[in-house]
Chains A and B, each alone.
Chain A
Amino acid sequence: MTGPRWLAPLAALGGLLVLLPLIGLVSRVEWPRFWELVTSEASLTALGLSLRTAGTATLVVLALGVPLAFVLHSLRGPMRGIVRALVLTPLVLPPVVGGLALLYAFGRRGLLGEQVGGSVAFSTLAVVIAQAFVAMPFMVVAVESALAARSGRHEAIAGTLGASRTRILLRVTLPALGPALATGAVLAFARALGEFGATLTFAGSLAGVTRTAPLEIYLAREADPASAAALSLVLVLVAISVVALAYRPLRRAP
C-alpha cells in the first residue's frame, strides 16, 4: 500500500522530529572519553542495575500481564471497556503521579501498612514494582489484541478431543501467541529500562540499589554532562537494539 505523494514531506518532518534529538545527543558525546565515561564505576553500576531490574520487571509482567489479558478478553459488555481503561492507566499517567500512587499503596504509610511498606522502601524491589507498574499495559495490550484476532477454532477442536483447559492454554493458545508475547515483552522491557519518574518518586536514588541508568543520567547531567551524554547514548543503543532484534509488528492471524 503506497500513499499519495504529498505524504512524503510530512513523513520527512516526522522522521526529523524523531532523529534530530538523537543526532543532537550524538553530537554532544565526547568521543575520545566515551569508553572511559561509560565504563566508569557509576555508569556500570547503574547500567547493571537497570538491566537486572528491567529484566525482572519483564518476567513479572509476563507472569501477571498474560493472565490479565486473558481475563480482560473473557469479559463482556461495558465491564471490558472499564477494566481495560483501568489496566491501561499507567500508560497515560504522568510518571510522578505514578510514583505518588505507588507510594500511597506500597509506602511505609501506604495501604499495605508499615510492615510491607518498610521492607519495600528504598529497595531494589521498589524499582522493580515501579517498572512493572508502567510496563504492564504493553503486555496486556499486545496479548489482548492477539487474542481478539483469534477465531478460537483450534481451541474448540482441542476441546472436543478431550483436552483440559490448562492443556489447551499451554499447547494451543500460548504457542500461537508467541509473536504477541515477544512483542509485549520487548516493549515492556524497553519501557522498564527507560522508567524514571516513578522510580525517583517512589524508590529513591542510591548507587547499586535504586539508582538505575536514567537516574544516574539525571544526576550526572548536573555535575558531569559529558558522562550523562555518553550514558544516554548507551541507553539509546540498548533500546534500539532490543527493539530492532525482537520487535515485529503484530500481524493478523490467518
Chain B
Amino acid sequence: MSRGPGIAIAALGIAIIGAVIWASSTRDAVDARAHAEGRVELTVFAAASLADVMEPIAEAFESAHGAVDVRLTYGGSSDLAAQIAEGAPAEVFVSADEAQMAAVADHVSGDAAVVATNTLTLVVPAGNPAGVRGLEDLASPGLVSVICAPQVPCGAGTAELATLAGVTLTPASEEQSVTGVLGKVASGQADAGIVYVTDIARAEGVEAVEIDGADAVVNHYMAAALTGAREPGLPALFVEFLTGPEAREVLAAAGFGTP
C-alpha cells in the first residue's frame, strides 16, 4: 500500500527533526518543555504478554520524567501492528517478536531495540494429572495437547522447537493465542500445552514442566519509537528506558530474559 511520496517526506522530516532534537537535547530539556507546556502524554502499544511488567516500568518512567503520562494499550502484537499500519496514534511499539516489528518498519523512527527475551515451556493443569514429563509425551496418542497455531508467534516457536527435538506434535487444537492455550489447560480440557515461561506466572491452576533444550528457541521482544511523536525525542527516551537497569530488573523479576 503506497500513500505517495508526501508521507515519506513527512516521515523523513519528522525523523530528521527528531534526530536533531534527540542529539541536542537531554532528558532535562524534554522535561523542561513538558513543564512549560503542562503534562505530556506518551502513547505506548505493547504486547499483551508484557501487561504485568509495563505498568511498573511506565510508573518508574513517569517518576523519572515528572510531567509525562504514559498511556499503555495492550493487545496481540499482530493486532497492534495492524492498528499502527492503519494509522493508530501510537508513539512507541513494543512487539512480542521481530516479525511484527518488521511489519511496521515504515512507521519506525530510528532503530528497534531488543528489550527482553522469552523461552517456551510445557504447561499442565495443577498437579499434572496426566504425568507429562517432556516434549516427547505430547506425541503420545492418549494425551490431549493444545499449542499455538503456526501462524502466530508462540506457534512458530513451538513448531521450531518440535522440529529441533524431532518430535511430531499431534495437537487437539491450534489456538490463536497463548491465552487460548492457557485457558484450555487451566480448565482441564487439555492435559498439556506449550506457552512462554512468563505466561505461567500470570496464570492460575497451571504449572510448568521444563522442556529440555528450550533455550534453542528464543523469542525477542522489540521496542521502537514510531514516527509522528507529539513530543519529539520522548518516544526514544522511553525505548532507551526499556533497555535500562530499572526496566531490566522488573523484566527479570517476571521471568523474562534480558539481552
Contacts and interface: CB of A to CB of B under 8 A. Distances in A.
Given A109-B188, A121-B172, A204-B146, 4 more contacts: A122-B146, A122-B189, A204-B172, A223-B152
B184 interface: yes
A65 B171 CA distance: 34
Contacts of B171: 206
A205 B188 contact: no
Contacts of B144: 121-122
B112 to A, nearest CB: 20
Contact of B82 (A203, A219, A224, A225): A225
- 4 shortest interchain CB distances as A-B pairs: A204-B173, A122-B172, A223-B151, A109-B188
Q: Chain A binding site: helix, strand, loop or mixed by DSSP?
A: loop
Q: Chain B binding site: helix, strand, loop or mixed by DSSP?
A: loop
Contacts, number: 66
A54 interface: no
B84 interface: no
A206 B173 contact: yes
B174 interface: yes
Nearest to B153: A222
Contacts of B183: 201
B151 A218 contact: no
B73 interface: no
Range of interface residues on A (Cβ < 8 Å): 20 to 34
Interface in B171-217: 171-176, 180, 183-184, 187-190
B175 to A, nearest CB: 6
Given A200-B180, A206-B171, A206-B172, A107 B188 contact: yes
B149 interface: yes
Nearest to A201: B183
Contacts of B79: 222
A109 B172 contact: no
Q: Among the interface residues A103, A203, A205, A207, which one has the most CB atoms of the partner chain B within 10 A? A: A205
